[in-house]
Structure formats: structure tokens, C-alpha cells
């Protein structure tokens, strides 16, 4: 199983669109695919109707798995998308893992300092141990279903916080795709992501996090875009990756496809569909080189 995650702490750069399109292309090519939506905005879950509405707290979600201890296999939905999906939940916005202590946990020990000490130490040990901590929970759960899929693909929230950290540690090797716009702030986004990756790998030398490539989206055929292709490719190379050769043009076909809840394969994708097809080929080449 290959674990793929679409990441960029900026929103609106095309993560969800690329995640949905790649998942669909993999599925059409006979791969067994599971998509996990970890963005509390639920864009992907809503667009494929895995979430009934933004305030759906009933349908099992990745929140049920991470916070309410539902087994991950019970959160999987099989829809007419062809790929399986685990939906997101807007309560993920405020979830940052279990805190070290809450007042009501320690109150029972107010006359028992030794008991309190033991309780705190037990909890600290549990939260520090990768076989029981919260940050590796996604990984522990994914391990239980990994054999059923060729690809597990995570769509993430625009943030470098707790959820993203969990995703970056969700398999022994995590492959990232970073969609970006042709603009200066994208350079900053690539460098900040690299810093997060290095911090995690410094804490756990066995964790591999690989940026498969940076995907330029909403590309316009002008000199500024061309300049940024080169500049961003230089930045990507300084952190050991590169831009995909394929760029995705800015096209109204995409918001239309998303809005009408169709896909890019219904014959209306035009140039963008063929660009995504060539991105797909590059993706397969890069993943096979792993
Ligand atoms: N190549 C493109 N051209 C024009 N609009 C696009 C393109 N890719 C994505 N969009 C639109 O931009 C918005 C943000 O895209 P989305 O994939 O949701 O980004 P993210 O997940 O990074 O927030 C959506 O409305 C989407 O339809
Ligand atoms: Mg998104």
C-alpha cells in the first residue's frame, strides 16, 4: 500500500481537486483506493456526498476513529465514486490530540499525592509511546486495513498543525504531493512544509516522508507563470524534490465540475483533463521509482 497525502498549508491551491481526480484515475486503472478526508471543511466529503451536511455528526468519520475510538474499518464508505472514502467532520477543527491533564482527571487525587503522581506518570508514558500515543493513532488504524488497498490517499487541511503531523506519520513511508499556485507565497509554503518534515524525521529516524513532487495549479500561459515555474522548481530542488513537468491550467471546467458534483471524466474536462492524465503518468513513474 502506498500512502499519499495532498498537503499545503495554504487553502484554495487545488489540493482537494487533485486528490479527487488522482483517486478517480487510480480507481479507473484498477487500483484499490481509499480516500481519507482529514480537512474539517469537508470539501471532498461533501462533494461526493459522504457527508450529509456540514453538521453531520452521525455518519462515522475520521473523527469517530481518532477521538471516539471507532475501528477504522467501520468508518469506510463505499460510494458510487468507485473508490472508498472515510469522511471528515467539522469537529476536527478543535481536536489537537488528548491534553496531558484535565482538572477533573486530577481532582480525585487531591488528598493522594502518590496516587496523583502515578496517574500523571502513567498518562505521560502512554502519550509518549508511539504504540499508544494519539499522534500515531492514524497510523495504527491504517495498518489494520492497509492490506485491502493499493493506495490510501489523504486530503488534508490548510495547516501545519496536529492533523497534518498525524498524516505525516501515518505510514512508514509517506509520499506527499504539494499543489501550489504560481506566486511568491508558494515558495514559503514549500520551505515551511520542509521544516515540519525535518522536525518529525529528527524525532523519529525510521519515519520516511518523501515529497513526490510539487504540482503547479491554476497555471496561466504568461511570462509570470513561466517565471514562477522556474523559481519554484529551484526552491523544490533545494529540498530534494521537483515540480511535476505537467502543470494544471486555470480553467472554469474545474469549479463547474466540482459545483455540479460531476467529475472531470464526463467529457467536459478538455485541456485540464488531458493535463491531469499526464500528471497521472508522472505520478505513477515517480511512485514506481520509490
Ligand atoms: N485548475 C483550476 N482552475 C480553476 N479553478 C480551480 C482549479 N483547480 C481548483 N480550482 C478551484 O479552486 C477552488 C479551490 O480548489 P480546491 O481543490 O478545493 O483547493 P484546496 O483543497 O487546496 O483548498 C475550488 O473552487 C476549485 O474548483
Ligand atoms: Mg481542500
143 lies in a domain? Answer: yes
CATH number for the domain harbouring residue 252: 3.40.50.300
118 lies in a domain? Answer: no
Q: Whose CA is nearest to atom 20 of ligand 1?
A: 12
**Ligand 1 binding pocket includes 20 (Cβ within 6 Å):** no
Whole-prediction pTM value? 0.94
123 lies in a domain? Answer: no
Distance 54 CA to ligand 2 centre (A): 14
Alpha carbons 134 and 124: distance in angstroms, whole number: 12
Number of separate domains in the chain:
1
56 lies in a domain? Answer: yes
Ligand located closest to 15 CA:
1
Alpha carbons 6 and 167: distance in angstroms, whole number: 10
Residue 243 dihedral angles phi and psi, to the nearest 5°: -75, 145
**Per residue in 197-221, pLDDT tens?**
999 999 888 999 999 999 999 999 9
Is the CA virtual torsion 216, 219, 221, 226 positive or negative? negative
30 lies in a domain? Answer: yes
124 lies in a domain? Answer: no
Parent domain of 179: 2-97+134-288
**Per residue in 178-203, pLDDT tens?**
999 998 899 999 999 999 999 999 98
233 lies in a domain? Answer: yes
Q: Which of 103-112, 123-132, 144-153, 261-270 has the lowest mean pLDDT?
A: 261-270
Residue 97 dihedral angles phi and psi, to the nearest 5°: 90, 165
74 lies in a domain? Answer: yes
Question: Max Cα separation, the chain?
Answer: 72
As a whole-number percent, the residues of the chain with pLDDT over 70 amount to: 97
Amino acid at each position: 500500500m502506498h500512502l499519499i497525502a495532498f498537503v499545503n498549508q495554504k487553502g484554495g491551491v487545488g489540493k482537494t481537486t487533485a486528490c479527487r481526480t488522482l483517486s478517480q484515475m487510480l480507481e479507473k486503472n484498477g487500483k484499490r483506493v481509499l480516500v481519507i478526508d482529514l480537512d474539517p471543511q469537508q470539501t471532498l466529503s461533501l462533494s461526493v456526498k459522504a457527508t450529509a451536511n456540514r453538521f453531520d455528526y452521525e455518519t462515522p468519520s475520521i473523527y469517530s476513529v481518532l477521538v471516539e475510538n471507532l475501528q477504522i474499518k467501520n468508518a469506510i464508505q463505499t460510494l458510487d465514486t468507485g473508490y472508498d472514502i472515510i469522511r471528515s467532520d467539522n469537529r476536527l477543527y478543535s481536536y489537537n490530540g488528548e491534553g496531558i491533564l484535565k482538572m477533573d482527571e486530577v481532582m480525585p487525587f487531591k488528598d493522594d499525592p502518590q496516587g496523583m503522581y502515578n496517574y500523571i506518570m502513567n498518562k505521560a508514558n502512554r502519550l509518549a509511546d508511539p504504540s499508544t500515543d494519539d499522534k500515531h493513532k492514524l497510523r495504527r488504524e491504517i495498518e489494520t486495513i492497509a492490506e485491502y488497498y493499493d493506495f490510501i490517499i489523504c486530503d488534508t487541511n490548510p495547516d501545519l498543525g496536529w492533523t497534518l503531523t498525524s498524516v505525516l506519520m501515518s505510514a512508514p513511508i509517506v509520499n506527499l504531493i504539494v499543489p501550489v499556485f504560481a506566486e511568491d507565497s508558494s515558495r514559503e509554503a514549500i520551505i515551511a512544509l520542509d521544516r515540519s518534515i525535518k522536525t518529525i524525521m529528527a524525532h523519529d529516524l525510521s519515519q520516511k516522508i518523501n515529497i513526490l513532487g510539487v504540482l503547479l495549479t491554476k497555471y496561466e500561459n504568461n511570462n509570470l507563470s513561466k517565471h514562477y515555474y522556474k523559481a519554484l522548481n529551484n526552491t523544490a530542488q533545494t529540498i530534494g524534490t521537483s515540480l511535476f513537468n505537467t502543470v494544471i491550467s486555470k480553467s472554469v471546467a474545474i469549479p463547474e465540475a466540482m459545483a455540479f458534483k460531476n467529475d472531470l471524466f464526463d467529457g467536459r474536462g478538455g485541456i485540464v483533463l488531458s493535463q491531469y492524465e499526464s500528471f497521472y503518468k508522472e505520478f505513477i513513474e515517480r511512485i514506481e521509482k520509490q
